[in-house]
Copies of this chain bind each other. A is one copy, B any other.
């Protein structure tokens, strides 16, 4: 009568090179797309309209890139972060083939780094996760690192290994969907006249709008992604915890910020890369989220005259309109109003 319940992995359970085949393959449908729209109000036209998607060479409207991200991410939670103290960062995230309704996603992860913390009670686990569709095509390949509890503080520390990760995904590693041809892209229907060449490095855009989060919303979202981290769902347990509140899944903030960024980046129709990301402060129900973007780089895409890429810092704030562009204080620490500092590479029509 062995214990049938899986309590998640602890720091000692991970080995560099270990490959984890995550459970619960997930067929993504137009139902998920509708819920995603209802949760964030996203308006990027290529993902909103089959007609517009076909006009640029796609078979139909692809699923929002971040919905694909959340589904791929969600699979990893039971194995990687059920005992996580914090989700520390993301790097080298590259989106592959688009996900369409009907595709089934699975995720396989490889442990690429381990580093015990000096307190001896926790350690950092680096995981490279690859989401694939039913044809084995990669839809997303990214690395994240999380702080994970040790089961036993007296367990010996492993040899520290920290993977070599790029500061940002290189232009050569950015991929656009096969068949994409933006000559048929309609900026009027997309909601903005501003194309790739209209943005300048250093330019900052206040996305203006704010969105207040309700408990039901973030719970619906996080369950939709089959992300099982209990801190998001269990108020009874939270009552005895540090915040006395359910924590909002960081990815929920990512999606809110991306949806808000439509107002200023309406033609950034595709996320090509997640270069880096930090959940600067926790968020809770009742928080109102705002966002701004800063253009970090303008990137030519090899062989493309119809599309270019912008590297953008997307920052989300809470209960603080983003027009004064808060980020970090003189001490180098995040402003208390900042909840997300995300480094994305986005595709736009030229």
Contacts and interface: CB of A to CB of B under 8 A. Distances in A.
Interface stretch (A3-11, A166-174, A296-304): A3-11
A198 B230 contact: no
Interface-central residue, A224, A320, A321, by most chain B CB under 10 Å: A224
Contact of A38 (B7, B209, B224, B286): B224
Given A4-B205, A38-B224, A189 B106 contact: yes
A48 interface: yes
B205 A39 contact: no
B45 A23 contact: yes
A316 to B, nearest CB: 13
Given A25-B52, A51-B27, A39 B4 contact: no
Contacts of A177: none
B25 A29 contact: no
A6 B212 contact: no
Interface stretch (A88-96, A121-129, A154-162, A259-267): A259-267
Contacts of A205: 4-5
A102 interface: yes
A104 B49 contact: yes
A264 B31 contact: no
Interface stretch (A109-117, A140-148, A214-222, A273-281): A214-222
Interface in A248-276: 263-266
Contacts of A52: 25, 104
Interface string A32-58: 111101111101010011111000000
Chain A interface size, as a band, is: 35 or more
A18 interface: no
A68 to B, nearest CB: 14
Interface stretch (A233-241, A326-334, A339-347): A233-241
Contacts of A49: 24-27, 104
B223 A41 contact: yes
Contacts of A35: 31, 34-35, 38
Contacts of A200: 1
A288 B238 CA distance: 11
Given A24-B48, A29-B101, A43-B226, 20 more contacts: A4-B194, A4-B198, A4-B203, A4-B265, A23-B43, A25-B189, A31-B31, A32-B37, A35-B38, A38-B221, A50-B102, A50-B134, A106-B189, A209-B228, A210-B236, A210-B237, A214-B215, A217-B220, A228-B263, A235-B286
18 contacts: A2-B194, A5-B208, A21-B189, A24-B43, A24-B45, A24-B48, A27-B49, A31-B34, A34-B34, A39-B220, A78-B191, A211-B234, A214-B214, A214-B215, A215-B216, A216-B216, A236-B288, A236-B321
Give the 6 A-B residue pairs with the shortest CB-CB distance, closest first: A31-B34, A23-B191, A41-B223, A236-B288, A216-B216, A29-B30
Interface of A: 1-2, 4-7, 21, 23-27, 29-35, 37-41, 43, 45, 48-52, 61, 78, 101-102, 104, 106, 134, 188-192, 194, 198-200, 203, 205-212, 214-217, 219-224, 226, 228, 230, 233-237, 246, 263-266, 286, 288, 319-321
